[in-house]
Amino acid sequence: MHMTNGRQRWRLPLATLALLSLLAGCQSPPKDRPLTSEVPEPPSFAAPPETCQAAAARFGLGLRANQQLLEEMRQRAGARAARTVLATDVADPAQDMMRLNVQVEPSGRVVGAYCG
């Protein structure tokens, strides 16, 4: 019966492990990695609308007006500013097409919205 030395038994697995470690360090770079010094431009975002869109604020109809609701209506409409006006008030002659006017009843319930 032939007995092998304990060191010889581990020689092949250790050599295989060393070879695999060496090959792991030599992998090629991923294909999507740029190989030039040129850097692509960052993505651009869509420009905001030039005027507010009052229809996007319709979700607030029937709700009680408060600062949080007014801000959400302004954001959804894409307006620069928002304010509440009584539904019975005459429209302000100074028009700002980036301002959302939220019409409310004296009780504070939202009954309409328009830009201007």
Instruction: Look at residue 90 in the predicted model and tell me its pLDDT.
Output: 82
- Residue 48 in any domain: the answer is no
101 located within any domain: yes
Q: Is residue 22 assigned to a domain?
A: no
pLDDT above 60: residue 92: yes
The verdict on residue 24 lying in a domain is no
Determine the residue type at 81: A
Asked whether residue 65 is domain-assigned, the answer is: yes
Residue 3 in any domain: the answer is no
* CATH code, domain carrying 97: 3.30.10.10
What is the tens place of the pLDDT at every residue in 50-86?
Answer: 678 999 999 999 999 999 999 999 999 999 999 999 9
Gap between the Cα atoms of 100 and 102, Å rounded: 6
Q: Could you give the number of structural domains in the chain?
A: 1
| Within a domain: 2 | no
How many Cβ atoms are within 10 Å of 113's Cβ, its own excluded? 26
8 residue type, one letter: Q
E strands along 25-93, which residues? 81-86
Residue 60: domain span: 54-115
Q: What is the pTM of this model?
A: 0.56
pLDDT score, position 114? 92
Three-state SS for 10?
Answer: helix
